[in-house]
Amino acid sequence: MAPGLRRDQRLRAQLIADETRLVKLFLHITPEEQIRRFRNRLSNPLKRWKLSYEDFRNRTHWKDYETAIEDMMEKTSTRRAPWHLIPANDKPYGRGAALRIMADRLSKNISLDPRPLDPKVLEAAERLLGILAPANDVPPKNRLGANETKVMMPKFISPAAVCPIADTFPRR
């Protein structure tokens, strides 16, 4: 195993031992999409800063990078910190999928119910504001206020459904 991977594994092991939640994402694009993005960056003056000679030089090593990525995922994907391989040719889909995975992973086993008001806060609100603060009720679910809109998140499609390679990395 490469020294960098060994060092990264030790760091990840320490973070997990400290109960840090790790979310490992890999946004994958195809070689054809990379060429399309290169062309766009060359023709759009506002995006030229994103392109360098190294991009073209490194592109000649695409197969080597694929092998290294597969090796990295195989050796560093664990049950507690799995890799999430996200198809990213479509930027909005890739970003939405990444956000959904992060939200799901980071909010797991965390209550999202509002905290009850501290009795001291209720007392101060009555005394200083002259109002009766609402009781410590949990607001009814699925009821929106007049100025609220419901945000619909796209249902996440498993990377394995789109990109079978996602299932090839064992979760230890």
Assign residue 87 the CATH number of its domain. Answer: 3.40.50.300
What pLDDT, on the 0 to 100 scale, is given for residue 154? 42
- 91 is a domain residue: yes
- 171 is a domain residue: no
- 169 is a domain residue: no
100: nearest Cα among 153, 24, 146: 153
Enumerate residue ranges in the chain where pLDDT < 70: 1-2, 133-172
How many domains are there within the chain? 1
Q: Which amino acid is at 49?
A: W
Domain extent at residue 97: 3-164
- How does the average pLDDT of the chain come out, rounded? 80
What pLDDT, on the 0 to 100 scale, is given for residue 15? 85
What pLDDT, on the 0 to 100 scale, is given for residue 17? 85
What pLDDT, on the 0 to 100 scale, is given for residue 136? 61
Burial of 20 (0-12, 13-18, 19+ CB in 10 A): exposed
Angle, CA of 146, 147 and 149, to the nearest 5°? 100
